[in-house]
């Protein structure tokens, strides 16, 4: 199911033996647009330390009660690598994080989660995990803050059309499926959504996202209503409009 990514903010992280803290932000990578970490403020419990939590540890999300359950103990979180979440997270720090928790790394493979298409532990080969864990490429790093990207300008292939209003999250694959665009200055407050894969590039220094779509195509696309749950029928019509293959048949 798809959810507004911003709904994660403020949700409580529940370990197997108590609460960890609340979600403050999300890191995603700008290549596959997978959600790589939740940034969790532990409050007074760990002297206001912020910790990273990988979606690999999540065993369930209670959206109604705003709680995320993880297969971790408080002690595991307390002893996890102390990473400054206010600074860019290096690939070396990520490698230490994954080594500590015993997770296979997400980079170095052809799928959203590395050598595996989904977060399925029964597909993990121990020898491959050890090999991939040591594939540290510090020159190819793409973690981004979801909070930072909100508000970025959106340019179609021919002219500006709006700004990033938010994201839609697939909470099964932990992937950003759509970028929500607010076109208020152009089309009287209309919202539209596009797939991250339809983005040609992001100029981070300019805070600008460039689409491989022209303004006319975006303007004629099915309107997105943030108050309505996104249906598979709507998604199919959206992909048909842009003459693109639907993502769920390719996974």
- Tell me: domain 150-249, CATH 3.90.50.10, correct? yes
Tell me the C-alpha distance between 9 and 90, whole Å. Answer: 24
Per-residue pLDDT, 192: 95
Q: What is the pLDDT of residue 80?
A: 96
Helix, strand and coil content of the chain, in percent to the nearest 5, comes to: 25, 35, 40
153-155/160-170 β-pairing: antiparallel
Tokens of 75: 């002690």
**In this structure, what token pair is assigned to residue 42?**
């532990």
Q: Residue 14 and residue 72: Cα distance in Å, rounded? A: 9
* Angle of helix 126-133 versus helix 91-101 axis, rounded to 10: 150
Instruction: Report residue 53 as tokens.
Output: 């939590």
45: left (phi over 0), alpha (psi -120 to 50) or beta: alpha
2-143: CATH topology is: SH3 type barrels. (2.30.30)
What does the domain layout of the chain look like in residue ranges? 2-143, 150-249
| Stretch (H or E) spanning 62 | strand 58-62
Q: Which residues contact 157 (CB under 8 A, 6 or more apart)?
A: 200, 210, 211, 212, 213, 214, 215
Cα 169 to Cα 43, 108, 173, 176, distances in angstroms: 26, 23, 9, 5
Reading the chain (251 residues) residue by residue, the pLDDT tens digits are 899 999 999 999 999 999 999 999 999 998 889 999 999 999 888 988 999 999 999 999 999 999 999 999 999 999 999 999 988 899 999 999 999 999 999 887 778 887 666 555 544 444 444 444 444 443 456 899 999 999 999 999 999 999 999 999 999 999 999 999 999 887 776 899 999 999 999 998 999 999 999 999 999 999 899 889 999 999 999 999 999 999 998 65
Q: Is the CA virtual torsion 149, 151, 155, 161 positive or negative?
A: positive
Q: Write down the residue that tokens 């170095």 correspond to.
A: 108
């Amino acid at each position: 199911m798809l959810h507004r990514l911003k709904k994660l903010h403020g949700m409580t992280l529940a370990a197997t033996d108590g609460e960890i803290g609340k979600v403050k932000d999300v890191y995603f990578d700008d290549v596959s647009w997978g959600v790589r970490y939740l940034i969790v403020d532990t409050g007074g419990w760990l002297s206001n330390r912020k910790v990273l939590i990988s979606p690999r540890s999540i065993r369930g999300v209670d959206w109604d009660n705003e709680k995320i359950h993880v297969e971790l103990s408080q002690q595991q979180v307390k002893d996890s690598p102390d990473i400054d979440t206010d600074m860019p997270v290096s690939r070396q720090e990520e490698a230490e994080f994954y080594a500590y928790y015993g997770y296979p790394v997400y980079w170095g493979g052809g799928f959203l989660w590395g050598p595996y298409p989904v977060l399925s532990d029964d597909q993990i080969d121990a020898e491959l995990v050890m090999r991939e864990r040591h594939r540290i490429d510090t020159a190819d790093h793409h973690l981004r803050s979801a909070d930072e990207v909100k508000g970025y300008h959106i340019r179609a292939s021919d002219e500006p059309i709006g700004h990033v209003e938010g994201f839609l999250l697939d909470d099964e694959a932990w992937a950003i499926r759509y970028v929500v665009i607010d076109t208020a200055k152009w089309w009287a407050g209309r919202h539209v959504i596009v797939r991250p894969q339809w983005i040609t590039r992001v100029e981070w220094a300019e805070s600008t996202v460039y689409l491989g779509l022209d303004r006319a195509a975006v303007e004629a696309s099915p309107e997105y209503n943030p108050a309505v749950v996104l249906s598979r029928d709507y998604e199919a019509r959206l992909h048909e409009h842009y003459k693109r293959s639907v993502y769920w048949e390719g996974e």
